[in-house]
Structures are given as C-alpha cells and as structure tokens.
Amino acid sequence: MDLNELRLRFTEPRTPPETIYGDQGTRPGGGELHAASVLVPIVARPAEPTVLFTQRTAHLKKHSGQISFPGGRAEQTDASAEHTALRETWEEIGLAPERIELLGRLSDYHTRTGFRVTPIVGIVLPPFDLNPDDNEVAEVFEVPLSFLLDERNLQRHSREFEGVQRHFFAIPYEERYIWGATAGMLVNLQRHLSPG
C-alpha cells in the first residue's frame, strides 16, 4: 500500500469495519475510563512505508518491556486526542509534530488497566530526528507496513487470566513479539485499510 492509497482510506466514505473493542475481547468492569491517545506513526520510507514502535524500558511498573506506539494519558490542557498523541510522541521519542501528517482516527480501544485509548494514524515525513526518553523508552524501531497488514502474520493465542481462558492477538516480527493492546490496534488498522 502506498501513501496515496493510505490517505484515501481515511478520506473515502466507507462502512465502518468491525473493530476490536478491548483487551482480550472483554470490556473493562466498572469505573470511569481514563482518556489516552497513541500515535500510529507510518514512516514514509522510499522503499516502502514502515510503522514506528517503541519498546518500553524493563524497570517500568506497568507494561515493562512491551512493544507499543508512542502515546499516553490525556492531560486537561490537551485540546484533543490528536493533541495528546502529538504531545506524548514528542515527550517520549522527540519526534517533532511538524514532521507528522495526521490522517485520522481508529476506533477507541479499552484496556484492562482502565484506559480508553484513541489511536491517531499519521504519516511521518523523513528526515527526522529522534530523542527517546531513556526512562521510558529502551528502543525505537520500524516494521514494514506490508508485513503488519498481511493477515498471514497475525496469530491468535490464549492464556488463563483470573480463572478464565482469554484470547488475544500477536504479531511476531523477527526477534520481537507485538501483542496485547498494540496488536489489537494493528488488527483495527488492518481492517480499516482493507479494500471494500
């Protein structure tokens, strides 16, 4: 998929695709969900578009070592979900907002930890500099968009959690293992970008 096709998928009128609602197919129980946003950064590389990910540092109390999109919790001063995603991306990896062309939103994703995450899809225009926050980000890396959109690379796993068998998506790539909320949002990206 090239960048023009990508832009078209976010501008053409379409029937909304079926989406993944939340972690392991379940809705979080009681309590108010905290608003959060992530940027789904599609890098406009000359050979083919890639998606930029972060790997969280091992010492963090929540989601340590996991692969994620840059983003985080909304603040009262944020004007929109887009503002949150751009601010958090700047704070986490030093990617300047002026290098990002925002395309649109994917469906909100609810996490077991009590967040309603709005994924904001954007095209990142090289050249750009990164300055990852060493406290939060162990590594920044890219995966070809074509790999992530190929349903043959999508796996379905299960595990027992609080006495119940739960199912979740995973997308292994080389030595990396993308799963959980990030994989769920990638499934929603696959569905949003699929033709028809």
- What domains can you pick out in the chain, each with its CATH number? 3-151+181-193 (3.90.79.10)
Distance CA 174, CA 180 (A): 18
**pLDDT, position 41:** 98
Q: Tell me if the bond preceding 41 is cis, omega within 30° of 0.
A: no
pTM here is: 0.91
Decide if 22 contacts 104 (C-beta within 8 A): no
Of 89, 16, 86, 9, the C-alpha closest to 54 is 89
Instruction: Enumerate residues 6+ apart whose C-beta is below 8 A from 49.
Output: 1, 2, 3, 6, 42, 43, 123, 144, 145, 146
pLDDT of 118 above 70: yes
CB crowding 84-109: b at 16 or more within 10 Å, else e = bbbbbbbebbbbeeebbeebebbbbb
Instruction: Enumerate residues 6+ apart whose C-beta is below 8 A from 161.
Output: 24
pLDDT of 112 above 70: yes
Which stretch of 25-34, 47-56, 107-116 has the lowest confidence by average pLDDT? 25-34
Can you tell me the mean pLDDT for 178-191? 93
55 or 17, greater pLDDT: 55
Of 130, 134, 163, the C-alpha closest to 43 is 130
Tens-place pLDDT, residues 135-175: 889 999 999 999 999 999 999 887 766 666 677 899 999 99
Tens-place pLDDT, residues 68-96: 999 999 999 999 999 999 999 999 999 99
Which stretch of 79-83, 102-106, 109-113, 146-150 has the lowest confidence by average pLDDT? 109-113
